[in-house]
Amino acid sequence: MKIIAVGKNYAAHAMEFDGTGEKPASPMIFMKPDSSILKNGKHFYLPDWLGRIDYECEIVVRINKLGRSIPARFAHRYYDAITVGIDFTARDLQRQLIAQGAPWELSKGFDCSAVLGEFRPVEGYDLSNLDFSLTINDETVQSGNSSQMLFSVDEIIEYVSRFCTLKTGDLIFTGTPAGVGPVKIGDHLRGYFGDEKVLDFRVR
Ligand code: ZN
């Protein structure tokens, strides 16, 4: 399986990242390897040799059908489950690689950098207007609504499936709202859809 992720898909986060909040012509896509998955509430062991590690709280969509060149209007037929995840990012390394004009894949693809909450059937939620949030040590650090995405889930699927065949089990990290920041050992992260907790793990 593969993990597809979208960068700068919320204007307010794009603004805090590099001062631009404009909608790009197409979604900014990158991938994380399957070895980056961390799930079932397992501890995240901070790879402190990588420098600053930032949390990015995101809605994650699970693909349930093989498809390529999927039009946006049919895209909803290709996923069945959603959760809240964390796209951990080695921020110092990412900025260093961007400055060099080098690929920054490794700053996003290290082990355990794709944390998954418990999946929920997508039918139970309105993905066009879904509140989600992240708390650290009981303080809300990020909150967003799916309606603020610059590219909707269906538009992301249309775009990326022109390049890559989507397969059952593939995951899409749909981008983070504003408020990203570093984690430290001892932090307790919880992710929510509205008031419903779907993600719960600790940094060790
Ligand atoms: Zn992200």
136 alpha carbon – ligand 1 mean position (Å): 17
Q: Are 70 and 197 in contact (CB under 8 A)?
A: no
Range of the domain at 190: 3-202
190 alpha carbon – ligand 1 mean position (Å): 17
Reported confidence tier of residue 18, pLDDT bands at 50, 70, 90:
confident
Average pLDDT of the residues of the chain: 96
Domain of 49, CATH number, reads 3.90.850.10
Q: What's residue 147's pLDDT?
A: 96
Q: Give 178-199 pLDDT, tens digit per residue.
A: 999 999 999 999 999 999 999 9
Using a CB cutoff of 8 Å and minimum separation of 24, what contacts does 13-16 make? 13/175, 13/176, 13/177, 13/178, 13/179, 13/180, 14/150, 15/178, 16/178, 16/179, 16/180
87 alpha carbon – ligand 1 mean position (Å): 5
Reported confidence tier of residue 22, pLDDT bands at 50, 70, 90:
confident
Mapped onto helix, strand or coil, the DSSP state of residue 81 is strand
- Whether 17 shows a pLDDT value over 90: the answer reads no
70 alpha carbon – ligand 1 mean position (Å): 23
89 alpha carbon – ligand 1 mean position (Å): 8
In the block, which residue shows the tokens 């900014």? Answer: 28
58 alpha carbon – ligand 1 mean position (Å): 7
- What is the arithmetic mean of pLDDT over 52-79? 98
204 alpha carbon – ligand 1 mean position (Å): 21
64 alpha carbon – ligand 1 mean position (Å): 22
Q: How many structural domains compose the chain?
A: 1
What's the full length of the chain, in residues?
204
- What is the arithmetic mean of pLDDT over 110-134? 97
Reported confidence tier of residue 23, pLDDT bands at 50, 70, 90:
confident
- What is the arithmetic mean of pLDDT over 74-88? 98
